[in-house]
Homo-oligomer: A and B are copies of this chain.
Amino acid sequence: MNLALIGLGTVNRGLLELLLEKRDSLLKEYGFAPLVTAISDPIVGSVFSEKGINIEEILSLLMKENNIKNYSDGIKGWNSEKTIKESNADTIVEAIPTNLETGEPGLSILRTALNDKKNVVTTNKGSIVLAYRELKNLAEENGVFLRFEGTVLSGTPVISLVESTFKGIEIKEVRGIMNGTANYILTKMEIGFSYEEALKRAKKKGIAEEQPEADIKGWDSAAKIVIIANVLMGGDLKFKEVSIKGIDTVTEKDIVKALAERKHWKLIAAAKKTEDKIIASVAPEILSDQDPLSKITGSINAINFTTDILGNIMVSGPGAGKRETGYALLSDLLYINEKKKR
C-alpha cells in the first residue's frame, strides 16, 4: 500500500509515529508494510518520493525545524491535488482541519481522491457530516474504500465496533459523552475551577484547541451524532436538524447545586430512531450518580448503544490525542489492507 498524507498536523504525525513504532508487529501480524510515498501540507511542506519517504527523517525534521522543506530526497512543493493525481499513492490519508459549514477544503480533496480511484481514510468530520452518502456512493462507483473511524471518538472503536461486532443487531438509541474538552471542563468545575480556569487548563494540557468554540457550543458533538445516525443507524440526518445546546449554558452555581444532590452535569449527544426518522440532540444534562455515564470524567468519552438484542452496550475510551487519533487512521488502513487481500 502506498500512502499519500494530506496534512501533516498532529494527527498524521501521530500516524507516522505509530507506523514507525509498530513496523515489525504490523508486518508480522498483518502482512502490512505500507510505504508513505507523498506528504502534502501547505505550511510544513510537501515531498513526493516514488520509492518511499523515510519516516525517521521526516519526524526528526519536524522536531528540529517544524517543517520538512529540507528533506533529503524527492520532489518538493506539490499541492494536495497534484499529490493525489500524480503521486503513485493508492491510498489518501487526509487529516486537515475540519470545517463543519462547507467541509472545505477537505471535501474537494476527498472527491478528487475517490474520483481518481484512490482509497480514502480521514479523521476530518466536515466532509462526512455534510456529504456521507455522496462520498460513499463515489467510493462504491470507483471500487475504492472510504474509512473514517477517527471522526467519532478518535481511536476508540465506534464505527468498526458496530460494523464488526453488532452484525444483525439494530441500534434503537445512542447516548454519549462525545467531546473531551467539554467533559474535561465540566469535570474540573466540579472540583472548584471556574469555567475560565478550566478552559485555560484544558488549553494548557493540549485537550482544548485555541479556538474551542465548536467543543464548548456542542457543534463538535453534533457532528459526531450526525455521523453515528447516518452511518450506524441508517439515517439521513442533517447537521441543522440537530437541536444543539453547549456547556456555555451551565453555570458554576448549576454544577454546585447538582453536586449537592450527588448529580453530575454532562454534555450528552443523543440520537433516537422514531417511526420514520432519527431525532438527535446535544445538550447538557444532569445525570444521577447511578448512571454509568456520570462516571466518565476528564477527556474520556463514552457511548451507550441501546439495541434490540443485547439491551445496552457501552464503550468508553479516549476521544482525542495525537497517538489515539493516529491510531484511528492506522486501524482504517489495516481494514483496507485486510479487505484488499480477499
In the complex, which residues of chain B have a beta carbon less than 8 angstroms from the beta carbon of A302? 314
Contact check: which of B30, B290, B331 meets A295 at CB < 8 Å?
Answer: B290
A334 to B168, CA, bound (A): 9
Report if A75 contacts B (CB, 8 A): no
In the complex, which residues of chain B have a beta carbon less than 8 angstroms from the beta carbon of A289? 289
**B327–A309 touching, CB < 8 Å:** yes
A176 to B303, CA, bound (A): 18
User: In this complex, what residue of B is CB-closest to A334?
Assistant: B167
**B168–A30 touching, CB < 8 Å:** yes
User: In this complex, what residue of B is CB-closest to A304?
Assistant: B316
**A157–B161 touching, CB < 8 Å:** yes
**A168–B309 touching, CB < 8 Å:** no
**A167–B316 touching, CB < 8 Å:** no
**B331–A155 touching, CB < 8 Å:** no
**B318–A155 touching, CB < 8 Å:** no
Contact with B along A302-342 (1 / 0, CB 8 A): 10000001111111111000011001001100100000001
Q: Which of A265-323 contact B (CB under 8 A)?
A: 289-292, 294-297, 300, 302, 309-318, 323
Q: In the complex where A157-B161, A292-B295, A295-B294 touch, is A168 in contact with B318 (Cβ < 8 A)?
A: no
Give A237 Cβ to nearest chain B Cβ, in Å. Answer: 21
A-B contact pairs, 18 of them (CB 8 A): A155-B309, A155-B310, A157-B165, A157-B313, A161-B164, A164-B164, A164-B165, A168-B330, A169-B327, A289-B289, A290-B295, A292-B292, A294-B295, A295-B295, A313-B315, A313-B316, A314-B315, A314-B317
Q: In the complex where A157-B161, A310-B156, A310-B324 touch, is A331 in contact with B167 (Cβ < 8 A)?
A: yes
Report if A196 contacts B (CB, 8 A): no
Give A278 Cβ to nearest chain B Cβ, in Å. Answer: 18
Report if A18 contacts B (CB, 8 A): yes
**B316–A292 touching, CB < 8 Å:** yes
**B18–A309 touching, CB < 8 Å:** yes
A66 to B161, CA, bound (A): 38
Report if A25 contacts B (CB, 8 A): yes
Report if A26 contacts B (CB, 8 A): yes
Contact with B along A153-173 (1 / 0, CB 8 A): 001110011001111110000
A330 to B289, CA, bound (A): 35
